[in-house]
């Protein structure tokens, strides 16, 4: 099962043909409104919906049945994207792709990209990707990992989210060998072939693929 989440980030960063993506949809806050506006059926809508006007929220609730919309208080510990991921995780999907979670406020961006460091998501870490028009962000667990090049991608980067040991970038343009953790984004690497291999013993690595 594939689940897609649309959050409320800028529409200018949406990938082309976003709504042709296969799978079930979840709307997070204003992302739910946009799914509704484009006629995309959704499993649920979740958030505090503070980005919607009262009339927009009323229209959305009229469109969705009561059990498909979950409104929470604005004063909460979880972000709207996090709540959507928590629901998606319960469905035990094969993969979760999150759109609309980049751009705009930097605190929202960092919060979203570091969600996989939360132990509550330990069962889906390597099954979640964040995607926009120019970026593809995935996550890896310890072991020997093969990174597959995304179409039209040039740059490759790696960011430890927590304590990572014995991190090796094996066959990229710029190999790397670290025995102890350094909290640094190892960016602007490149593929030499269609795959790159990495290995590490502990922690979580965020893998970014991006283009200008």
The 10s digit of each residue's pLDDT in 90-141 is 999 999 999 999 987 888 889 999 999 999 999 999 999 999 999 999 999 9
| Nearest-angstrom CA–CA distance, 34 and 115 | 23
The contacts of residue 62 (CB under 8 Å, 6+ apart) are none
| CATH code, domain carrying 141 | 3.40.50.10240
64/123 same-domain check:
yes
Residue 66 domain boundaries: 1-133
Mean pLDDT of 175-185: 89
56/158 same-domain check:
no
Q: Which of 109, 133, 157 is the C-terminal boundary of a domain?
A: 133
129/141 same-domain check:
no
156/99 same-domain check:
no
User: Binning pLDDT at 50, 70 and 90, where does residue 66 land?
Assistant: low
| Nearest-angstrom CA–CA distance, 164 and 178 | 9
Q: CB neighbours (10 Å) of residue 181?
A: 16
The contacts of residue 78 (CB under 8 Å, 6+ apart) are 72, 86
20/101 same-domain check:
yes
19/117 same-domain check:
yes
Quote the percentage of the chain above a pLDDT of 70: 97
Res 183: pLDDT: 85
Mean pLDDT of 70-99: 89
Q: Which of 112, 133, 154 is the C-terminal boundary of a domain?
A: 133
| Nearest-angstrom CA–CA distance, 123 and 183 | 24
84/173 same-domain check:
no
Hey, which of 53-57, 179-183, 200-204 has the most confident mean pLDDT? 200-204
118/21 same-domain check:
yes
Res 65: pLDDT: 79
93: left (phi over 0), alpha (psi -120 to 50) or beta: beta
139/128 same-domain check:
no
102/162 same-domain check:
no
Phi, psi for residue 186 in degrees, rounded to 5: -90, 90
Instruction: Give the H/E segment covering residue 146.
Output: strand 143-148
18/116 same-domain check:
yes
Q: CB neighbours (10 Å) of residue 209?
A: 25
Residues 177 and 168: beta-carbon distance below 8 Å: yes
Domain count, the chain: 2
151/56 same-domain check:
no
Q: Which of 133, 151, 178 is the C-terminal boundary of a domain?
A: 133
| Nearest-angstrom CA–CA distance, 167 and 121 | 22
The 10s digit of each residue's pLDDT in 134-164 is 999 999 999 999 999 999 999 999 999 999 9
């Amino acid at each position: 099962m594939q689940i897609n989440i649309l959050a409320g980030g800028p529409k200018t960063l949406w990938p082309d043909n976003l709504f042709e993506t296969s799978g079930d949809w979840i709307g997070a806050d204003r992302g739910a409104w946009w799914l509704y506006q484009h006629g995309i059926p959704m499993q649920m809508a979740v958030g505090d919906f503070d980005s919607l006007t009262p009339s927009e929220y009323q229209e959305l609730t009229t469109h969705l049945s009561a059990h498909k919309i979950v409104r929470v208080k604005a004063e909460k510990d979880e972000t709207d994207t996090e709540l959507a991921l928590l629901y998606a995780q319960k469905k035990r999907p094969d993969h979760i792709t999150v759109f609309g979670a980049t751009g705009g406020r930097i605190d929202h961006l960092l919060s979203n990209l570091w969600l996989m460091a939360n132990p509550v998501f330990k069962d889906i870490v390597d099954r979640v990707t964040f995607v926009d028009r120019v970026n593809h962000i995935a996550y890896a667990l310890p072991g020997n990992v093969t990174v597959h090049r995304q179409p039209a991608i040039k740059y490759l980067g790696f960011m430890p989210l927590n304590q990572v040991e014995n991190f090796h970038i094996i066959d990229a343009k710029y190999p790397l060998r670290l025995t102890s953790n350094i909290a640094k984004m190892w960016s602007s690497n490149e593929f030499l072939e269609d795959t790159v291999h990495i290995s590490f013993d502990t922690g979580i690595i965020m893998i970014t693929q991006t283009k200008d």
